[in-house]
């Protein structure tokens, strides 16, 4: 019973944070459209670059483990 209440509380908290984030973004976009657009594009670009770097690092680490070059 406690686990289901805790899980439900976590879901409600997640949805509340998500709704607050969306409302904040809409308010910012309504009042400051150009600045919000530039900031959004910048954040998405940083996330895209981070994802590409993470993939390249992951493939390099995977290839080193396949060849048996483990250094501990």
Residues 36, 18 share a domain: no
Asked whether the beta carbons of 28 and 38 are under 8 A apart, the reply is no
Residues 72, 40 share a domain: yes
Residues 64, 41 share a domain: yes
Residues 51, 22 share a domain: no
Spatial neighbors of 64 by CB under 8 A, at least 6 apart, are 70
Q: How many domains does the chain have?
A: 2
Least confident piece of the model among 5-9, 11-15, 60-64 = 60-64
Residues 41, 67 share a domain: yes
pLDDT in tens, 29-67: 999 999 999 999 999 999 999 999 999 888 777 666 665
Range of the domain at 2: 1-31
Q: What is the pTM of this model?
A: 0.60
Most distant CA pair in the chain, distance: 56
Residues 13, 40 share a domain: no
Asked whether the beta carbons of 36 and 25 are under 8 A apart, the reply is yes
């Amino acid at each position: 019973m406690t686990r289901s209440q805790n899980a439900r509380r976590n879901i409600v908290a997640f949805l509340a944070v998500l709704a607050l984030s969306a409302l904040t973004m809409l308010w910012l976009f309504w009042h400051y459209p150009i600045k919000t657009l530039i900031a959004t594009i910048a954040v998405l670009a940083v996330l895209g670059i981070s994802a590409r770097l993470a993939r390249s690092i992951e493939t390099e680490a995977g290839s080193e483990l396949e060849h048996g070059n483990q250094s501990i």
